[in-house]
Amino acid sequence: MNETKTHINPTLLKILKTVPDPEIPVLTIVDLGVVHGAEVLDDGSVEVKIIPTYSGCPAMDVIGDDIVTAFAEAGIKAKVKLVLSPAWSTDMISEEGRAALEKYGIASPLDATADKEALLGNKKLVKCPQCGSKNTELVSQFGSTACKAQFKCNDCLEPFDYFKCLK
Amino acid sequence: MNIKQQDSRLRGNYILGIADNSLILGQRLGELCGHGPSLETDIAITNMSLDLLGQVRSYYQYVAQLSGEDKTEDDIAFLRLEREYKNVLLVEQPNTDFGYVITRQYFFDVFHLLLMQELQNSKDETLSAIAKKGIKEVSYHKRFSGDWVKRLGDGTEESHNRIQNAINDLWSYTNELFEMTEADQQAAEAGIGVDVSKLKEKYYNEITELLNEATLEVPETKYFHKGGKHGVHTEHMGYILADLQYMQRTYPGMKW
């Protein structure tokens, strides 16, 4: 699923795994799937390639800065390159990432077909991360960040965010 | 000017024709931040604004790189004169009421998605990548605006009349979307750009179908405005630019 991991050597990966997503701190940028590759250049510095989740996601600049800081703490000079291809999709979120989202109170993305049904309000498919009930209702297709929609649970009555499917 | 420079210039001009639509609509939608009719629609509208401005950044960064000069995306966004912006007139029309906001959005989204679907096949890898990313976002915008056209059209007498007014008013700005400028023509011939005139039939069919479903009437007017693609804008454009450029003109070189 996350083929990008194969390009990264373990030492670099370890450092990258310490960088959290600024909006959803329980998720590392590796679990989010935005790290497309990292390599050591001839001069000993590191180049990290990241792909944006949404074109206008303001977190990308912060993620870039955080990566540079994380490497600097390990005594390594790093620079970050934003690449546009491949286009990020929610399939790039790892299993660990999905579990972390649920635990944090954000419902993780369904597959594309189910996602459409859920967002059109046709079927009740999104599981409430608080009580596990599927008796949930769409409040708005857009949420507090570009990647989320707003739902509420009709059983425990809690509102919650749903990380919408992007494919 | 050598061939490579000519090619870069052609690409740059072509890209501005696409990108400026997203900038000006993004700015218009941004005006509604904190002023949306409800919290959910406010958030939705600013989300769409953010997507559009994100796309613009990718386009402008590329144009800046192509220019070969010491330019940045900010120079292109903030420091051009009105005549140098190539957006269509539709996107600069004001946020008269929610009916106008939704109609303008829907009229643009249908076009935008058709355009992105073709642009993803561009021989220019950067444009193709931006389009592939854009398709995902724009599909979402169209779902939102199309749903609201139906809801308002098929809603109360008041909502029906309001959106019908907006449709009647904004309809005359739709035809410009399919006008081919010289830059469009050259880019299409080079396999970089899209021949937008070919999208026209699909566009009007799709819109007619949705308006029928929403119990709304398709206007019969045969008079259409144009000019934006050549930099000749409506009276609204100057006010938008005043707002957009104010900070950069007051504090030249300012960065966030």
Q: pLDDT tens digits, residue range B131-142?
A: 999 998 999 999
Using a CB–CB cutoff of 8 Å, tell me whether A81 touches chain B.
no
Instruction: Give me the torsion for CA of B83, B87, B89, B93, rounded to 10°.
Output: -100
Residue ranges of domains in chain A: 3-92, 105-163
In single-letter form, the type of residue at position A57 comes to C
Looking at residue B255, what is its pLDDT? 80
Mean pLDDT of chain B: 95
Q: What is the complex's ipTM, to 2 decimals?
A: 0.78
At residue B228, φ and ψ (nearest 5 deg) are -55, -40
Q: In what order do the strands lie in the sheet with A78-82?
A: A35-40, A46-50, A78-82
What pLDDT was estimated at residue A1? 42
Say how far apart CA B81 and CA A104 lie, in whole Å.
48
CA angle, B57 then B87 then B207, to 5°: 105
Q: Which of the residues B130, B136, B142 would you substitute to probe the A interface, choosing the one with the greatest number of A C-beta atoms within 10 Å?
A: B136
β-pair partners for A161: A106, A150
| Contact indicator for B86, B112 with CB cutoff of 8 Å | no
CA B151 vs CA A155, B92, B126: distances in Å: 27, 24, 37
Domains of chain B, first to last: 3-250 (1.20.1260.10)
Q: In whole angstroms, what is the distance from residue B102 CA to residue B145 CA? A: 6
Looking at beta carbons, which residues of chain A come within 8 Å of B44? 140-142
Distance from CA of B109 to the nearest CA of A (A): 16
**A3-92 has CATH 3.30.300.130 classification:** yes
Q: Block means of pLDDT (10 residues each) for chain B, length 256 residues?
A: 82 96 98 92 94 95 91 93 97 97 98 98 96 93 96 97 98 98 95 97 98 97 94 97 95 84
Q: Which candidate from B44, B51, B132 shows the least CB-CB separation from A56?
A: B51
pLDDT at A57: 82
Taking an 8 Å cut-off on Cβ atoms, the answer to whether A141 and B143 are in contact is: yes
Q: How far apart are CA B47 and CA B144, in angstroms?
A: 11
Alpha-carbon distances of B37 from A143, A144, B26, B195, B255, rounded to whole Å: 16, 17, 18, 37, 32
Q: Do B136 and A167 touch (CB under 8 A)?
A: yes
Q: What's the pLDDT score for residue B1?
A: 65
Judging contacts by C-beta atoms under 8 Å, the chain A residues touching residue B41 are: 140
Q: Which residue of B has its CA nearest to A167?
A: B136
Tell me whether residues A84 and B53 touch, CB distance under 8 A. no
Residue B235 main-chain phi, psi, to 5 deg: -65, -15
From chain A, the residues in CB contact with B126 under 8 A are 84
Q: By CA distance, what is B62's nearest residue in A?
A: A84
| Omega prior to A86 cis, within 30 of 0 | yes
Question: CA A107, A112, A116, A122 torsion: positive or negative?
Answer: negative
Positions in chain A whose pLDDT score sits under 70: 1-7
Candidates A56, A141, A142; nearest CB to B54: A56
Do the Cβ atoms of A142 and B126 come within 8 Å? no
